[in-house]
């Protein structure tokens, strides 16, 4: 599971991740500012790296603060 932490633009982030070519990442749930994605059969680390690079390459990331995690933080 990969968690994207962002206070803004949740719908756009979900759409961008859903449209990553060659992947089958599925949005699971939203809790506060956390967006949870199921990334099987990819490893969580590989998926997190791909999601982060895809979001950074998108023009919305210039005005967006986000983190991509593989585990929940406390």
pTM of the model as a whole: 0.90
With cut-offs at 50, 70 and 90, classify the pLDDT of residue 73: low
User: Apex CA 18: angle with CA 9 and CA 16, to 5°?
Assistant: 40
The answer to whether residue 74 is domain-embedded is no
The answer to whether residue 59 is domain-embedded is yes
pLDDT score of 2: 96
Q: Which domain holds residue 22?
A: 2-69
Give the pLDDT confidence of 24-34 residue by residue, as tens digits. 999 999 999 99
The answer to whether residue 38 is domain-embedded is yes
Give the DSSP letter string of 3-19: EEE-SS-HHHHHHHHHT
Q: Is the pLDDT of residue 74 over 50?
A: no
For the chain, the average pLDDT equals 93
Q: What CATH number is associated with residue 19?
A: 3.30.70
With cut-offs at 50, 70 and 90, classify the pLDDT of residue 41: confident
């Amino acid at each position: 599971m990969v968690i994207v932490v962002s206070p803004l633009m949740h719908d756009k982030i979900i759409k961008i991740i859903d449209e990553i070519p060659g992947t089958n990442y599925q949005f699971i749930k939203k809790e506060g500012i956390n967006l949870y994605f199921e990334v099987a059969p990819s490893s969580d680390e590989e998926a997190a790296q791909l999601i982060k690079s895809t979001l950074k390459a998108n023009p919305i990331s210039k005005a967006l603060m986000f983190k991509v995690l593989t585990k929940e933080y406390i």
